[in-house]
Amino acid sequence: MGLIESPFLQACAGQIPSRTPVWILRQAGRYLPEYRAVRSKFPDFLAFLRTPEAAAEVTCQPPRLIGVDAAILFSDILTVLPPLGFDLAFKEGEGPRLSNPLRSGDGRTLERFDPVMELGYVMEAVRHCRAALPTDIPLIGFAGAPWTVACYAVDGGGGKEFSKTRAWMHSDPVGFGKILDVLADVTADHLAAQAEAGCQALQIFESWGGIVAPSDYRRVILPAVERLLARLRERTRVPVIFYCNGASTLMGVLDGLDADVWAIDWRMSLSVARTHVGPKPLQGNFDPCLLHAPEETIRKAVQLAHAQAAGGPWIANLGHGIMPDAPVSGLKALVDAVHALPPVVAEVWE
């Protein structure tokens, strides 16, 4: 598959895409009846996640059913935790829970592992997807950023404050930074293995980047992100998307990162993001709740975002995961409105 066939990969490469590409955070998800039909066959979420055929099936649904320009592997940012010794469970309606969170001073160490051995089901799902997807639909692999994974590893799930993780960061930034370094190495291994197995792009999710002060992020967290990106660049050439939820806080800290695409949430306009990244590719950033609005409102929001993203490639997406109650009709209206946009004129970028 050449770049020329994928508007998404063209945009990732900093080229003018043949049409504006769009995909959706959490697009293989509960809002889709076809997803729920597959999900219902499994007793729990982890069993579902660890069955490559099922993961591949739901991964391939959104390009076929909604018309998005890329598939993202159905998986979870916490898959790396069990091989690191954490006892992970997903309680219905509660999200992830760890029975043995890591705590400051508990003396535990985290050890790098071989993702091909320990996360074989992820690589198997990638191969299934690649075999099943049309050649013009790229597959995106992903992982959580070190800080975001640490939030679960330390707080253990439940709530969105992650106050134990933040308290550790404040009280022992050096010791906490060492935990982040291990997570950076583990994550680089995991992402490189996904690319090796067949993913054509990789997204790093800094889903909880926005809960710390910019100065703390820069001092304690950013070095681990830079380490992750450097390790990853040594191992693979596929484009890397860095997604930050809370980007309005951190954009000034993040915009020097060695990423190919910056993906942002909806609390910052694409035009402000553009002032940070210049002509580099941007991804995002509709409010997921916009999908409840009338089609005409959605169409206008798409046109406004298109104008605000001017100055470089734009990959349309939501600014956060699509919600279980999102109407499929609203999502289709958004995807159709993106595809109906006029082609970008090269001169606008100069």
**What is the C-alpha to C-alpha distance for residues 136 and 4, in angstroms, rounded to an integer?**
9
Stretch that binds a second copy, among 29-37, 109-117, 181-189, 289-297 (CB under 8 A): 289-297
Is there a contact between 282 and 12 (Cβ–Cβ < 8 Å)? no
CA 23 to chain centre: 11
| Residue number with CB closer to a second copy (193 or 212) | 212
Structure tokens at 180: 């982040």
CA 19 to chain centre: 22
100 binds a second copy (CB under 8 A): no
Stretch that binds a second copy, among 144-152, 165-173, 229-237, 331-339 (CB under 8 A): 165-173
Burial 241-266, CB ≥16 within 10 A → b, else e? bbbbbbbbbbbebbbebebbbbbbbb
| Residue number with CB closer to a second copy (134 or 294) | 294
Is 235 assigned a catalytic role?
A: no
| Residue number with CB closer to a second copy (327 or 343) | 327
Is there a contact between 49 and 79 (Cβ–Cβ < 8 Å)? yes
Q: Which is the catalytic residue, given 69, 76, 189, 265?
A: 76
Task: Decide: helix, strand or coil at residue 13.
Answer: coil
Stretch that binds a second copy, among 6-14, 127-135, 191-199, 290-298 (CB under 8 A): 290-298
103 binds a second copy (CB under 8 A): no
47 binds a second copy (CB under 8 A): no
Is there a contact between 312 and 280 (Cβ–Cβ < 8 Å)? yes
Where does this chain bind a second copy (CB under 8 A)?
160-161, 163, 166-167, 169-171, 210-216, 246, 248-249, 266-269, 287-290, 292-294, 297, 323, 325
Q: Which residues are catalytic?
A: 26, 30, 39, 76, 152
